[in-house]
């Protein structure tokens, strides 16, 4: 009798992509700047009063679901603590939650925008989320492009088509190609809507990420498509009946405020936002259309949703939707 030789393999050679739970819908109840909060409780109450009817509409639109299944919907709210910190969590968050409750709304998850840049600055294995997403961008080359433009990792700019050519400095070249050419959108339908999105500025070691790029990271997190060394990122930390601290960095990036809340990550997202965010979210769609997500993370969504009989769009950008209420 002969024995087969034992096979030994490094566990690191078999990377595992952590699974996350999924709601059917992640419903964002707003994203306000610090300046909005400074206006006081009345500003917050006006916001949620305007949001409420559209939240009801978004909830009613979930489906169709298989017989006997109830929709799993979680709500979230993103606070901008990245670009400014004019107030403290202890001063700002309680009036926010109270204003939402006055409108009959509950915020299940509260997130800090700075967490979309760096998930956990205090942790030794901190996840540089924005940097990781930047390295996953695969620019869509427009027809006829020659690769002259430097990559987005160097310029900090990402477009959805072909930019207008820059003026050439050589007189000889100008003579051959002096006719102006307009920018054009890749796969435009009839007419182009060209956009060039700034993702960051500043020196490489001190980058300031743009609102549009952080909002793109935020969407990917809500869709459950980001991992760091195979592990899920921005996992909500339970924060039930706890006081809020005086420093933003003392808060986890995402707080779970409702014990009975459906999962934070979801198959699709909907965001109810002021109209001033429309150009930002257009930019978000340009970014999402050019992000290469881990195949295993995509497969998990496809397998889980198929098992539930829930159709999920193949394209990441098609999994996001928006409502821009008038007067919000």
Domain spans of the chain, in order of start: 17-130+211-323
- pLDDT of 78: 95
Q: Which two tokens stand for residue 116?
A: 């979309």
Are 314 and 35 a contacting pair, CB within 8 Å? no
pLDDT mean values, one per 10 residues, the chain (328 residues): 44 70 96 87 94 94 84 96 90 95 97 88 65 90 63 87 68 57 83 91 87 97 93 93 94 96 98 94 96 94 93 95 90
Q: How confident is the model at residue 11, as a pLDDT?
A: 45
pLDDT at position 2 is 45
pLDDT at 151: 81
- What is the value of pTM for the model shown? 0.88
Q: Structure tokens of 164?
A: 């207008």
* Of residues 13, 47, 6, the one with CA closest to residue 29: 47
**Residue 292: HSE in the Cβ half-sphere, 13 Å Cα cutoff:** 6
Structure tokens at 67: 């017989």
Whole-number pLDDT of residue 177: 53
Of 80, 293, 83, 125, the C-alpha closest to 209 is 83
Please classify residue 16 by burial: count the beta carbons closer than 10 Å to its beta carbon, then call 0-12 exposed, 13-18 middle and 19+ buried.
exposed
DSSP H helices in the chain: 34-38, 41-60, 89-102, 129-134, 152-155, 171-176, 211-222, 278-288, 295-308
pLDDT of residue 87: 87
- Residue 221 · residue 236 · CB < 8 Å: no
Say what the pLDDT of residue 190 is: 85
Question: Which residues on neighbouring strands pair with residue 268, listed in sequence order?
Answer: 25
């Amino acid at each position: 009798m002969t024995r087969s030789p034992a096979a030994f393999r490094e566990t690191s050679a078999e990377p595992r992509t952590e699974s996350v739970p999924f709601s059917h819908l992640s419903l964002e109840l707003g994203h306000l700047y610090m300046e909005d909060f400074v206006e006081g409780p009345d500003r917050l109450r006006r916001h949620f009063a305007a949001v409420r009817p559209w939240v009801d509409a978004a909830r009613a639109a979930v489906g169709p679901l298989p017989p006997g299944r109830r929709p799993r919907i979680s709500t979230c709210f993103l606070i901008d603590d990245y670009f400014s910190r004019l107030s403290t969590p202890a001063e700002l968050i309680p009036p926010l939650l109270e204003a939402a409750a006055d409108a009959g709304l509950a915020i299940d998850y509260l997130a800090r925008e700075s967490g979309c840049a760096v998930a956990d600055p205090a942790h030794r294995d901190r996840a540089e989320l924005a940097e990781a997403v930047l390295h996953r961008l695969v620019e869509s080359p427009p027809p006829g492009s020659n690769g002259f433009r430097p990559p987005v990792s160097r310029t900090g700019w990402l477009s959805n088509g072909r930019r207008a050519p820059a003026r050439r400095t050589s007189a000889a070249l100008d003579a051959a190609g002096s006719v102006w050419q307009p920018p054009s959108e890749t796969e435009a339908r009839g007419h182009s809507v060209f956009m060039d999105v700034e993702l960051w500025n500043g020196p490489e070691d001190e980058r300031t990420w743009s609102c549009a790029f952080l909002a793109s990271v935020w969407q990917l997190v809500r869709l459950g498509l980001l991992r760091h060394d195979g592990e899920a990122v921005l996992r909500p930390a339970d924060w039930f009946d706890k006081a809020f601290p005086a420093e933003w960095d003392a808060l986890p990036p995402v707080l779970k405020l409702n014990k009975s809340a459906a999962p934070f990550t979801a198959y699709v997202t909907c965001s109810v936002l002021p109209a001033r965010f429309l150009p930002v979210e257009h930019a978000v769609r340009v970014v999402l259309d050019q992000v290469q997500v881990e195949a295993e993370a995509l497969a998990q969504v496809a397998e889980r949703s198929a098992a539930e009989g829930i159709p999920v769009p193949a394209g990441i950008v098609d999994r996001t939707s928006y409502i821009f209420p008038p007067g919000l």
